[in-house]
A and B are shown apart, each in its own frame.
Chain A
């Protein structure tokens, strides 16, 4: 009988069935939302957690650190993820736990002979005061500065840690670590920064004041450009959310974080 109805009616019935099928959720559901840089890590951790513990359904959303804070505040998400050096004032009411740390690496094109830059040089390049590679010992070419957008956690952390930068107006702005990597990989005169977990062969990291940006060095607290990743909850975490956070902080969870390119909380 179903097949005799006109297509439009059949379609509508199917859709209605889909909508109504939401009854009977037999499992605890947690939603995480926020930092897009940490989202893949959270998904991986959720994957492992759900493999071990049945009856819990974890959904991970992105949107950025600010969305993470807002979602935690409004209750749309049980856990907000934010990767900022300092949490903004509206996050004061939330309970925050550091679950990982992230190193920010400065990268140039592999064809660029420069291997090391001092903090002062980095600041002056990004401010536009040094405009040519030859002023820092490289070839006679104009520097193309590439940066993240104004609200990026990575950028805010970078600027704070380098020491208060006023970014030059000529800087090219890209909206994610991946595209910064592509931009620097394709432009011999570019310099940029990104989270060290996504460095690939296509770009070359430079040492800052002689210090490399690797996991070992960061864990020894010797590299300067490091920022924390926070999990935010409204009040102390309870129930399934607490179990998940405990898992993330456990040695197994931290090992997963380390294996995939981020740095354990400590």
Chain B
């Protein structure tokens, strides 16, 4: 009897897993179906390497957007990842538990703030600051990177914190018993053990950063040219899609879906790099 229930449960879970995966596949198919024919028609090199984006004149070059997206994402991760992971480590290892109980919900609270609010604050507070002290129009790659970096902090901190907290206490005790200082225990043992969770948080955050639309539209300036400095205005791939999708028809619309395909590929590449980097580090440092 118990065995029957076991197999039923297993079948149910399989169905659940499959339906979850199917719905995700649907979206992927949806994007590729609209975008790939366009890429085949216009030519991949032309699409990716031309800097001329004038849909009404039939020109579809997204090179400036690719550059902009990469800069903004890396900038955001440069700000968000170190701050986030450092914060997670500090809060978990060097701060009393009761304080943590208060801080963690506050940080997760920020995950619930709409991106438009972040964007709005960026326009009203951050852009003028950049314009006044660093020059340029203020609405720039730098502004977008900062806003995005702040937006992904809650994700990185929450998930990294969970990963670090899940490391069994015995690991730390063992390290301390061998004479390590708390910091040595942390960076030589705990962080390594929590590595997969921390990387997961960074990957999720990176995905969020690449795909963020609203906030970026409001503070990046969206000028359709290749940015040559962080103070330049630029238009990311997501901004292009969001700005023009509502009114695009025909080839223009397909071009936007093709941009979505490119986004998907960019994310896949970034994720693979991150996964490989982790796997190699683990292999190097352990004898598994």
Contacts and interface: CB of A to CB of B under 8 A. Distances in A.
Interface of A: 63-67, 88, 90, 144, 149-153, 169-175, 179, 182-183, 186-187
B137 A151 contact: no
A187 B131 contact: yes
Interface residues of B, number: 28
Contacts of A66: 246-249
Interface stretch (B11-19, B165-173, B202-210, B217-225): B217-225
13 contacts: A64-B246, A149-B244, A151-B248, A153-B247, A171-B223, A172-B139, A172-B223, A173-B223, A173-B243, A174-B217, A174-B218, A182-B124, A183-B139
Contact of A187 (B120, B138, B225, B249): B138
Given A187-B131, A187-B137, A63 B246 contact: yes
Contacts of A67: 246
Contact of B225 (A64, A150, A169, A175): A169
Nearest to B225: A169
A174 B224 CA distance: 12
B127 interface: yes
Contact of A173 (B131, B222, B245): B222
Interface string B183-212: 000000000000000000000000000000
B123 interface: yes
Given A172-B223, A186-B124, A187-B131, 20 more contacts: A64-B246, A65-B247, A88-B249, A150-B55, A151-B243, A151-B247, A151-B248, A153-B247, A169-B225, A171-B223, A172-B137, A173-B221, A173-B222, A173-B235, A174-B218, A175-B242, A179-B123, A182-B123, A182-B124, A183-B139
Given A170-B233, A171-B223, A187-B138, A149 B127 contact: no
A175 to B, nearest CB: 5
Contacts of A174: 217-218, 222
B87 interface: no
A151 B235 contact: no
Contacts of B222: 149, 172-174
A186 B55 contact: no
Contact of A152 (B223, B235, B247): B247
B230 interface: no
Contact of A144 (B120, B137, B242, B245): B137
A183 B224 CA distance: 18
Interface of B: 55-56, 120, 123-124, 127-128, 131, 137-139, 217-218, 221-225, 233, 235, 242-249
- Sort A-B residue pairs by CB-CB distance and give the 5 closest, nearest first: A151-B247, A64-B246, A149-B243, A173-B222, A66-B247
Contacts of A88: 249
A149 B246 CA distance: 10
A65 B138 CA distance: 30
Given A151-B248, A170-B223, A175 B123 contact: no
Contacts of A151: 243-248
B248 A186 contact: no
A90 B253 CA distance: 14
Contacts of B245: 151
A125 B181 CA distance: 64
Contacts of B243: 149-151, 173, 175
A175 B139 contact: no
A171 B249 CA distance: 24
Contacts of B249: 66, 88, 90
A187 B127 CA distance: 9
A88 B127 CA distance: 37
Contact of B223 (A63, A65, A169, A186): A169
